[in-house]
Structure 1
């Protein structure tokens, strides 16, 4: 699953109108307040580690058919927020993605039967990152190009207040060339392009967000994403796509993350939690090309 800020080519924000007036000390129309609030809901402003667990399902969508439940899914993310001053923050994060049985208790077996093709597929669990993102009043930026225009600019997100809760919504789309060429990887590649859309909401206590004495706040997340077929599903350019539907929450301490979720992540990367933000950088498709060979049609 690609993060909303993971694409370096062709990314756009979908809908960025502020929908609440000033609430306490938080002004949702102020880019400086937006950058601060985004960082606080993403991690801890005191620079300590933050953990975010998302679990849910992957559905398949094909023209003329009802959606099909394909797999369960878990994303365990570790991140650290660094306050750079002048309203800007650096978010460093890394994730382990695990495809699971529907009840999310175990990894998907290595002989998973694809309900669309009837073929036996071997799931590809993977690590992504560490990635780095600048959060500024001028929008999201790549640390290597801080002078480049941000996105969105000015940085104003569509916030929503529901009673004593505040909702941060971030909707985005991304496009980039596929690392798996359809000529070399006919069953793994969706074609020359990778396209995805992400719709994410994070919910937390409004009082915690407005309180300057609190460095981090607990949040609950809801994410729906659409993207191309996963390469290990061997769907090639068959019309259709997958959809991720997850719910998650943040944790201040690794010991508070459910043991079964830690176990699933460590089955993919045994030493992940030793130094998750110091591991070599990697991405899903890069790892796939190293670990697998093109399947025979």
Structure 2
């Protein structure tokens, strides 16, 4: 069983960097008021549409952005719904402008599990469905590669607020066979739904002074039971619900998370590719 775990980030998710240099490392350009006339976005134009996606989720420049995220994993069975575990960490997105309106980004995810509504890492917890002590495995996910091309992404706008989300479905063979791993495996096939999205401001997207707009990440995942919950093929699913913020500097991140990242992987923040080999949850 893989000893490293991630949320199979679709996201679409810190190293030795001083606070003085953090803004340069973490944000392609500091957030600032527009000094030039706004450049209106025609969302009906495929090129404008994908540029808005890249600017909100990541950056138009060949650079890296980071999101601090935090949320709760719920368990839902035919009989009950319960909060099971909290999660938190940093998502690194390394962006590259491919030309012709297309962009590539690569995700790296580093984090850990907590009690719900806490940033304190835990090594074990009592499963509220089974009463059994479970031992979660820290989050280390990626690299995951995504290419976005000019097309009509579905945006919702209300005044200066704007957001979009994408439904992504994954279905693949489970590497943990139920015969060999009866309590960790949910079956021969894994079926997952991800509904991640980004919220921001039209005024930031139309600001020519910014390569990267401030943004809030929405995390909504429906997954089979995670292996370390030891729920086997009991009826039910996990629902991951969380939020993340594109950070401008380390002060935007929980001190507990920054301390964990700096200790676990020095250089995570400053590197565009903190590790090479892909890690996977299942």
Query: What range describes the TM-score normalised by the shorter chain of this pair?
Result: 0.7 to 0.9
Which residue in 2 is equivalent to 1:99? 113
Matched, 1:2 2:16: no
Matched, 1:80 2:84: no
Contact 1:180-1:188 within 8 A present in 2 as well = yes
Contact 2:11-2:196 within 8 A present in 1 as well = no
Rounded to whole Å, the distance in 2 between the matches of 1:276 and 1:181 is: 35
Cα RMSD after superposing both structures: 2.2
TM-score by length of 2: 0.81
Structure 1 residue runs without a partner (length 5+): 7-22, 138-154, 287-297
User: How far 1:24 sits from its partner (Å)?
Assistant: 6.7
| Residues 54-63 or 29-38, more deviating | 29-38
1:234–1:64 distance in 2 versus 1, CA, 3 Å: same
Matched, 1:60 2:66: no
Give SS of 2:281's match: helix
Rounded to whole Å, the distance in 2 between the matches of 1:165 and 1:201 is: 14
1:81–1:271 distance in 2 versus 1, CA, 3 Å: closer
Give SS of 1:262's match: helix
1:95–1:5 distance in 2 versus 1, CA, 3 Å: closer
Contact 1:78-1:93 within 8 A present in 2 as well = yes
User: How far 1:4 sits from its partner (Å)?
Assistant: 3.3
Structure having greater relative contact order (Cα 8 Å, sep ≥ 6): 2
User: How far 1:129 sits from its partner (Å)?
Assistant: 1.2
Give SS of 1:179's match: coil
The size of the alignment, in residue pairs, is: 251
Rounded to whole Å, the distance in 2 between the matches of 1:268 and 1:240 is: 33
| CA deviation profile, 1:20-59 (whole Å, cap 9, x unmatched) | xxx9732223322222111111212222321111111111
**Structure-to-structure mapping, 1:1-150, within 5 angstroms:** 1-4=7-10, 25-65=40-80, 67-110=81-124, 112-137=125-150
Give SS of 1:285's match: coil
